[in-house]
Chains A and B, each alone.
Chain A
Amino acid sequence: MIKKLPKKDVAIVGLGWCGSIMAIEMAEAGLDVIAFERGPWRDTATDFNIGYVQDELRYVIQQELMITAAEDTYTFRNAAHQTALPIREYGSFLLGTGVGGSGAHWSGLTWRYNPTDFQLRSHLTERYGAHSIPKDLLIRDWGVTYSELEPYYDKFEKMAGIGGKAGILNGVYQEGGNPFEGNRSSEFPLPPMPMTYAPTLFAEAAKNLGMRPFPTPSGNASAVYTNPYGVTMGPCTYCGYCSRCGCANYSKATPQTNIIPALMRKPNFTAQVQSEVLRVQMDASGKRATGVIYVDSTGQQYEQPADLVILTAFSVPNVRLLFASGIGQAYDPVTEKGLIGKNYAYQTNSSVQLFFNNKNFNPFIAGGGVGQACDEFNGDNFDHSGLGFFGGACIMSNVTSGWPISNRMTPPGTPRWGKKWKQATKDNYLSTTVVRTQGSSYPTRANYLGVDPTYKDRHGRNMMQLTFDFPENDLRMSAFVTDKAAEVARAMGPKQIVAKAPKGPYNIVPFQSTHNTGGAIMGDNPRDSVVNKYLQCWDVPNLFVIGGSAFPQNAGYNPTATVGALAYWAANAIRNQYLKKPGPLVQA
């Protein structure tokens, strides 16, 4: 028996970064807002205690802040001819749960995507010719441009207290910043983080090679900062527990540090936690959302009517809600019909380990956003003529932790146990570092999200099914950029390097990245995209689908700032256009 509740103006599904941004924007507009979060209420003082948050086993290995496979999981296969099987224990990606969502456990790297990333197909067509783009690559323009998004990147960065050095400020190159970035309308709200040893060595080596390194934009506060909502962050103390952990210090930008304290003061906002939205409720026409159906932790189901429904449940869960609600047509890789689940992409990462004799990096003095990077080989910052691939990667020295269970590098050939293992572990713990590349991921016809025919979730719904392998394009890209990263690594003077470019097939077990994208992509027409440039569903104008699900492809950067900018951009369109005249914001 589904209990029907009194109507709200807005129902938001998921209270992470996007949900918090949409909630405060809608509440500021005077609307009566309810946000649903399937996980628990989590706040800094109560849940991220400074006395015991530095617990690698609890948060990093056993992943306490993450959704468990027991609660919600997916089936996986590399290719459509295989039988998809459930991810019984999460590994490759880790989805957050609870208030703050993945915004509570992210590292803090806060990149803007390059202007050409947003117009990828038209840019590559113009520079290299349409014939140069392999037919199998489903890369697209986003329907929104960098300059349209720029004010919203700026707003996100000021909300989150991001530290960094502008590279292009009002059209003028700034020494020490990223020379390849899009134009910025203002400097970062905070200066770059003070540098630890490894990134400092990396930057010197890169400069000697003629590259232009710059400090990574960081969501770990480099100084005391009060954001436009009046919420104050404390300076990061470099405890090295950012990614997968909650910040005890009010230093890492998170929904609970930067937005929720202001949001909870709004009398027209309610957070409904431990309540999972099962589907969007549609009217008989299928063209209008009437609210959401959710289940609380006792198993009771409710209907929450709302005029406006906003999905902010993270990329893959957003797509799952569309499937469960019967919205749009599921993508079929054989007929290439349907759009829901299409354009799934990920991130193509690699690493180069550096072993030194005579260095002490103190790797435990660390922060998720502390680092130096080079963008020479990212996106289309370099000439791809004749290379046989498109895309690129950021090359970084970004030492985020000295966790001893996870980070104990030893040179190749070292045993995994016994006395020789122990001696090598001791000898290399302080004197080893890593140069990483974080690369683009371009969608293909074969990689997609679907509905599994066999396995059910705990609510009796068919599970989502993930079909993914690294495209040849991306493997070539990563091999190329990993070689460039190895050149910088060698210039740092180690006794030995070990470069590890990814090889197929993609494996769901080892952690790689929680930067899953696509499945409900944005674009300039309903034939190719699920949502319009304002993240509004083409088929259902009172439904907005916000998050990484909207990315037509992923770039060589961490996606959080782009996700946040899209949320502010969509919120602005709702407040200034949609509320005045509810209906499609873009005519199909």
Chain B
Amino acid sequence: MSDDRFQISRRQLLGAGALIAVSSSFANAATILGGSPLPWAPDAAAPPKNIDPHNWTFFSERERVQVEALVETLIPADQLSPSGKDAGCAVYIDRQMSGPQGQGARLYLQGPFAKGLPTQGPQSAMTPAEQMRVGLAALEWHCVSAFSGRRFAELSVEERESVLHGLEDGHIDLPNDVDGKAFFDVFLSRTMEGFFADPIYGGNRDMVSWTMLGYPGARYDYLDWIDRHNETYPHPPVSISGRPDWKVKA
């Protein structure tokens, strides 16, 4: 019967108990049942892989320069941490935009479309990646016209900050009907996600934000520390992929 692969009964569980362990989807487990004699290859596991920080997947070269300038203005380098650019926030956004989040995989994107009230949430027909691209272009056009042909990345720190404040406060109207404040809010959220997420996603390189905060990262056991009130937790952060100093040097 065609639906057998979705049925989970005691008989299949008893026969395939170990097989279930290799997959979150029983459909896959059942497929393995028919083929391979063993449920997994020796030494195999499927941890998340670190993102390769090279090879941009979404941003054009011009967009990359612009986005790196944006994230280093939002998160400037100082004695507390490197900049958003050096922490990898632009890489993070690049990978998100070319992945399912950017493509709007979780969003309802069917019409009809109407503007709606603020309490009804965003009603755009565009995917987040499309909005990102259109928003970056509109911001660049604004800068070129307001600053005698200079692009955002070519502005001084003070000029960049004044543009971003203008977007944030809703004082700058962007061309092409782009809502500058909404674009800014989304871009700021994406930047902060990259800066504070696990480094496996490309931002928060070397756990710089976690070290700054005192957040120990992907640890799972604090039993010895529950009743040590008001004490400083002594251990450094750890990522899902471990720590930089665990890496085998070539």
Which residues on A are within 8 Å of B, measured CB to CB? 40-43, 45-47, 49-57, 61-63, 68-70, 73, 76-78, 82-83, 85-89, 91, 194-197, 200, 235, 237-241, 248-249, 264-267, 269-275, 296-298, 300, 302, 359-362, 364-365, 402, 404-405, 408, 416-419, 422-423, 425-426, 429-430, 454-456, 505-509
Is B10 a contact of A404 with CB atoms below 8 Å? no
Is A86 a contact of B221 with CB atoms below 8 Å? no
| Binding site secondary structure of chain A | loop
Is A63 a contact of B214 with CB atoms below 8 Å? no
Q: Say how far B167's CB is from chain A's closest CB, in angstroms.
A: 11
CB-based nearest A residue for B230: A360
CB-based nearest A residue for B229: A197
Is B222 a contact of A365 with CB atoms below 8 Å? yes
CB-based nearest A residue for B203: A57
A235 vs B2: C-alpha distance when bound (angstroms) = 42
Is A423 a contact of B120 with CB atoms below 8 Å? no
- Knowing A78-B119, A426-B212 are in contact, say whether A454-B109 is a contact too (CB < 8 A): no
A88 vs B120: C-alpha distance when bound (angstroms) = 9
Which 7 A-B residue pairs are closest in the complex by CB-CB distance? A197-B229, A68-B106, A57-B197, A69-B108, A54-B218, A237-B221, A239-B220
In B73-96, the 8 Å CB interface with A consists of: 73-76, 78, 80-81
Is B164 a contact of A417 with CB atoms below 8 Å? yes
**CB-defined A-B contacts under 8 Å, sample of 13:** A40-B26, A43-B24, A57-B201, A61-B193, A62-B106, A77-B117, A83-B116, A273-B26, A275-B3, A360-B232, A408-B196, A423-B80, A505-B119
In B1-19, the 8 Å CB interface with A consists of: 2-3, 6-11, 13
Other-chain contact of B7, A272, A404, A416, A508 (Cβ < 8 Å) = A272
Is B107 a contact of A89 with CB atoms below 8 Å? yes
Other-chain contact of A62, B25, B47, B101, B210 (Cβ < 8 Å) = B101
B61 touches A (CB below 8 Å): no
Chain A residues in 8 Å Cβ range of B27: 274, 297
B42 touches A (CB below 8 Å): no
Question: Other CB < 8 Å A-B pairs besides A86-B108, A405-B197, 13 of them?
Answer: A52-B240, A54-B220, A73-B108, A88-B109, A197-B230, A238-B223, A265-B10, A267-B9, A270-B7, A300-B2, A360-B230, A405-B193, A419-B76
B177 touches A (CB below 8 Å): no
B215 touches A (CB below 8 Å): yes
A405 vs B119: C-alpha distance when bound (angstroms) = 23
In B177-214, the 8 Å CB interface with A consists of: 188, 191-193, 196-198, 201, 209-210, 212-214
- What per-residue 1/0 map shows which CB atoms of B16-50 lie under 8 Å from chain A? 00001111111100000000000000000001100
A68 vs B240: C-alpha distance when bound (angstroms) = 25
A195 vs B229: C-alpha distance when bound (angstroms) = 9
Q: Say how far A279's CB is from chain B's closest CB, in angstroms.
A: 18
Q: Say how far B220's CB is from chain A's closest CB, in angstroms.
A: 4
Q: Say how far A255's CB is from chain B's closest CB, in angstroms.
A: 14
Is A194 a contact of B227 with CB atoms below 8 Å? yes
Chain A residues in 8 Å Cβ range of B114: 83, 85
Question: Which residue among B192, B209, B225 has the maximum number of chain A CB atoms within 10 Å of its CB?
Answer: B192
B146 touches A (CB below 8 Å): no
B62 touches A (CB below 8 Å): no
Contacts between the two chains (Cβ within 8 Å), count:
229
Q: Say how far B209's CB is from chain A's closest CB, in angstroms.
A: 7
A586 vs B213: C-alpha distance when bound (angstroms) = 59
In B97-132, the 8 Å CB interface with A consists of: 101, 104-110, 112, 114, 116-124
Chain B residues in 8 Å Cβ range of A87: 108, 120-121
Other-chain contact of A88, B7, B122, B191, B219 (Cβ < 8 Å) = B122
Is B218 a contact of A455 with CB atoms below 8 Å? no
A360 vs B107: C-alpha distance when bound (angstroms) = 39
Is A404 a contact of B6 with CB atoms below 8 Å? no
Interface size on B, residues (CB 8 A): 79
Which residues on B are within 8 Å of A, measured CB to CB? 2-3, 6-11, 13, 20-27, 47-48, 73-76, 78, 80-81, 101, 104-110, 112, 114, 116-124, 161, 164, 168, 188, 191-193, 196-198, 201, 209-210, 212-223, 225-227, 229-233, 240
A364 vs B101: C-alpha distance when bound (angstroms) = 27
Q: Say how far A209's CB is from chain B's closest CB, in angstroms.
A: 21
CB-based nearest A residue for B232: A360
CB-based nearest B residue for A52: B240
Q: Say how far B240's CB is from chain A's closest CB, in angstroms.
A: 5
Is A405 a contact of B192 with CB atoms below 8 Å? yes
Other-chain contact of B13, A50, A70, A264, A297 (Cβ < 8 Å) = A264
Is A88 a contact of B214 with CB atoms below 8 Å? no
A76 vs B116: C-alpha distance when bound (angstroms) = 10
A249 vs B13: C-alpha distance when bound (angstroms) = 22
Other-chain contact of B112, A88, A416, A454 (Cβ < 8 Å) = A454
Other-chain contact of B8, A41, A194, A235, A361 (Cβ < 8 Å) = A41
Chain B residues in 8 Å Cβ range of A91: 121
A56 vs B48: C-alpha distance when bound (angstroms) = 14
A47 vs B124: C-alpha distance when bound (angstroms) = 33
A416 vs B169: C-alpha distance when bound (angstroms) = 12
Is B219 a contact of A196 with CB atoms below 8 Å? no
Is B23 a contact of A362 with CB atoms below 8 Å? no
Chain B residues in 8 Å Cβ range of A456: 110
- Knowing A73-B108, A422-B81 are in contact, say whether A417-B188 is a contact too (CB < 8 A): yes
Q: Say how far A335's CB is from chain B's closest CB, in angstroms.
A: 26
Chain B residues in 8 Å Cβ range of A429: 213-215
A404 vs B207: C-alpha distance when bound (angstroms) = 12
Chain B residues in 8 Å Cβ range of A69: 106-108
- Knowing A69-B108, A264-B8, A430-B214 are in contact, say whether A248-B3 is a contact too (CB < 8 A): no
Q: Say how far A399's CB is from chain B's closest CB, in angstroms.
A: 12
Is B81 a contact of A85 with CB atoms below 8 Å? no
Other-chain contact of A362, B110, B121, B197, B225 (Cβ < 8 Å) = B225
A56 vs B209: C-alpha distance when bound (angstroms) = 14
A361 vs B117: C-alpha distance when bound (angstroms) = 39
Is A298 a contact of B213 with CB atoms below 8 Å? no
Is A68 a contact of B105 with CB atoms below 8 Å? yes
Chain B residues in 8 Å Cβ range of A63: 106
Chain B residues in 8 Å Cβ range of A274: 6, 25, 27
A404 vs B199: C-alpha distance when bound (angstroms) = 13
Question: Which residue among A88, A297, A405, A507 has the maximum number of chain B CB atoms within 10 Å of its CB?
Answer: A88
CB-based nearest B residue for A240: B222
Is A239 a contact of B121 with CB atoms below 8 Å? no
A456 vs B225: C-alpha distance when bound (angstroms) = 51
Is A51 a contact of B107 with CB atoms below 8 Å? no
- Knowing A69-B106, A426-B80 are in contact, say whether A78-B117 is a contact too (CB < 8 A): yes
Is A77 a contact of B193 with CB atoms below 8 Å? no
